[in-house]
Structure formats: C-alpha cells, structure tokens
Amino acid sequence: MSKKILVVDDASVVRLTLKHLFESYHYNVLEAETGEEAVEKYKTFKPDLVTMDITMPDMDGITAVIEILKIDAKAKIVMCSAMGQSNKVKAAITAGAKTFIVKPLHPERVLSVIKKYLD
Amino acid sequence: MDSKIVNQFIKALTSIFAQVTNVSLTKTDLEYFPDGHKVSAKIAAILSIAGAFKGQFMLILNEPMALQLTSVVMAGVPVNNSSDLVDSAVRELCNMVAGEASKRLLEIGFNCDITFPSIARGKQIDTASPSFVSKFECEWGELQQILKFEHVSQIK
C-alpha cells in the first residue's frame, strides 16, 4: 500500500507542484490550505508524513506542528518554508518538526528528504 | 540602515528569481522617493514587514511575465490565462523573496517578520511613504520591486 503524504501550504501552486511530484512517485497525497485544516485532516487521513509551510492564514505552521504532535507524538513533519531565518528554523525544530527545507523547493532535495523519513 | 536593508531585498530577488526560473534578472534602476511613489500595477504582490523596521514590500509585474513564471513553476505546463494559480505563483515568488531577504537581514542584525502576501490587479498603487523603487529586466520583460518604510525616521 502506498505511503500517505499530507501537503500543507496556503499557495495552491506549491500544493499542486508537490502533489504532482509525490504522485509521480506513487505516494497518496492529500492537501490542506491552512494549519487548522491540516490538524483536522491529519486525524482522518493519518498520513505517514506531512510537509508544512510556516506563514499561512488562520493557524501558522509551527502551531500546527505542535497541535499535530498532540494528536500523534510520532508524526513525521517536514517544514517547507520561505522563512529560512535561523530563529524560524530553530522554532520549527523545537516544536517537533523533523527537518526544514527552505524554498524555493527543488524536487530532488524534497524527494531525498521525504524518502529519508518514509523508507 | 536603509541601503543595507534595500540591498538585501535586491540580492534576494535576483537570487530567488534565478533559482525559480533559471532566468537572470538585471537591475536597471534604483530610485528613492521620500514622499512616496505612485505606480500603475497590472499585478502586484504586497506584504507587510514588522520588527526591526515597519513597512511593505511589493513586487509588480505584467501579465505575460506572470504567465511565464507560473508555467515555469508548473514544470513547463503552458499557462495562457490568468487564474488563481497565476496569482498563487506571483504571491509565492513575493513570499520567497521576502523570506530570503528576512534571512539575510537577520544575519546582519535586523530581525523582521513578514505577513503572507496579497494580490492586487489593475490598481494604481500610491505608497504615500518613503519608498525605494528598484527596476529589473529579463528576457520576459520588466519587473519592479518597492520597499516602503512606514516612517521617515527609519531612513538614514
């Protein structure tokens, strides 16, 4: 059975790009537009991995990481954000994210990180 | 303070644009407007900045460049009409440039936060505050970047 990835980003162009990339490698993908939507979808979709943006309307990505980890302490969350300042990266890792990829997203880099945590 | 800040945004735009599109941008002009600047924008992505200084960052481009940008981001899929996807691509470019500029600013001691960008189409933009306007060109056309400072006291 294919592994499941929840892609969380307020930018539809990013969600679509990551969805196409992951589906071409036979992952099962679900999208969420906000942190709040991600937390809700996590409960039902139960993904093997989450890619998470930081700057989003409603609930930001770091708060969403904390909320998801309350639901599943073993959740694997990879931050994918343009906010690459050292303090943001530190905040995301402290919140419980596995790692941080700074945008722009390069397909090879994204895939290598995803595979590292899924395989 | 002002030139250091403006330079980080200029470096961020040229670097991110090249990484995303594989197309080089050339800066053709940089001008300071102490009383603000008016510009007619086909498409503008605008976000707010807070922290070490307060202001706004804007990217202004025309329709053909926005379509080209979206097509490249979507791995070469032809994009012929404006859509939410085009707005999303322009918004994301603005977000990445401001994110990269914030990273560079933190490295030289200015801690800034940015909001997520909004899109304005076909509007006359009046910054009405001290603004630095940088113009760039590439094979797709022209692009403008505006850095607006909320207070004149922030310009040195």
Q: Please report, for the domain that includes residue B19, its CATH number.
A: 3.40.1550.10
Q: What is the predicted pLDDT for the residue at A89?
A: 93
Put simply, whether B16 touches A (Cβ < 8 Å) is: yes
Q: What number is the ipTM of this complex?
A: 0.89
Q: What is the predicted pLDDT for the residue at B36?
A: 95
Residues of A with Cβ-Cβ distance to B67 under 8 angstroms: none
User: Which residues 52-111 of A are in CB contact (within 8 Å) with B?
Assistant: 55-57, 81-87, 102-104
> Does residue A79 form part of some domain?
yes
> Does residue A113 form part of some domain?
no
Count of other CB atoms within 10 angstroms of residue A27? 21
Question: Helices A12-24 and A107-118, interaxial angle, to 10°?
Answer: 60
Contact criterion met (CB < 8 Å) for B92 and A86: no
Q: What is the DSSP string of B67-118?
A: HHHHHHHTTT----S--HHHHHHHHHHHHHHHHHHHHHHHHTT--EEEPPPE
CA distance A72 to A78: 15
> Does residue A112 form part of some domain?
no
Q: What is the predicted pLDDT for the residue at A119?
A: 82
- Domain harbouring A33, CATH code: 3.40.50.2300
Of A10, A12, A85, the CB nearest to B85: A12
Beta bridge partners of A28: A4
Q: Which domain holds residue A39?
A: 4-105
Q: What is the predicted pLDDT for the residue at B1?
A: 52
The string of pLDDT tens digits covering residues B24-38 is 999 999 999 999 999
Q: Which domain holds residue B87?
A: 2-154
Which distant-in-sequence residues (6+ apart) come within 8 Å of B55 by Cβ?
B48, B49, B129, B147, B148, B149, B150, B154
Contact criterion met (CB < 8 Å) for B73 and A17: yes
CA distance B76 to A104: 16
> Does residue A69 form part of some domain?
yes
CA distance B112 to A104: 20
Distance from CA of B66 to the nearest CA of A (A): 13
Number of domains in chain B: 1
Size of interface A-B (CB pairs under 8 A): 63
Q: What is the predicted pLDDT for the residue at A57?
A: 83
- As a whole number of Å, the CA-based R_g of chain B is 15
The string of pLDDT tens digits covering residues B78-135 is 898 888 999 999 999 999 999 999 999 999 999 999 998 999 999 999 999 999 999 9
